Chains A and B, each alone.
Chain A
């Protein structure tokens, strides 16, 4: 079955630690995205990549980093510089540009204490 996998489903970290969230897709999509979801705020774009070895900052990139070394993988690192990292993180992919629908993974809920 084609789709997007995110792991783990739940992640707990202590303040001051970096943490990496995994996102893998087998849809052969060129574009991948990371969103952050907080209650009542919809989804906010963190980073996106429209092609391998290239990525751009979204609206709330501060305190986050990404890499896109393979077409199917787009890991997100939440660094200790992110002031409020506790949130639900969603990864998505699409065949191409912004006019295409995005397909979402099941999400990772990160709790930092």
Chain B
């Protein structure tokens, strides 16, 4: 069975600081990995996805994530946080024939 663990239900950073949101996955077959963002009372928006083409994946709004098979990780980063980045972020994993499984989410707070 696949699973996703997001370390830290809440992360707080200062505006302009590095954003690092952690995601570890478990999958017995090559995974497809996704990061989504959710603003309050809205649906989820895709930030980026990994589908084995390249280990460093660039997404929207300056976010990127690196797939590390040896560490079973897919951490999300952004060099400089902006106030508009405050939201909840979800990591998700699927694979061929296996449904998408979401992590519990990390709420990012950006301090001015």
Contact = CB atoms under 8 A, between A and B. Distances in A.
Given A104-B45, A106-B43, A99 B95 contact: yes
Contact of A42 (B32, B42, B96, B102): B102
Given A101-B34, A101-B46, A107-B43, 16 more contacts: A6-B43, A43-B44, A43-B102, A45-B99, A45-B100, A58-B99, A97-B96, A97-B97, A98-B96, A98-B100, A99-B51, A99-B95, A104-B43, A104-B45, A106-B42, A107-B41
Nearest to A91: B43
A90 interface: yes
Nearest to A90: B43
B14 interface: no
B11 interface: no
A83 to B, nearest CB: 21
Interface in B37-58: 41-46, 49, 51
Nearest to B52: A99
A68 interface: no
B43 A40 contact: no
Nearest to B34: A101
B107 to A, nearest CB: 10
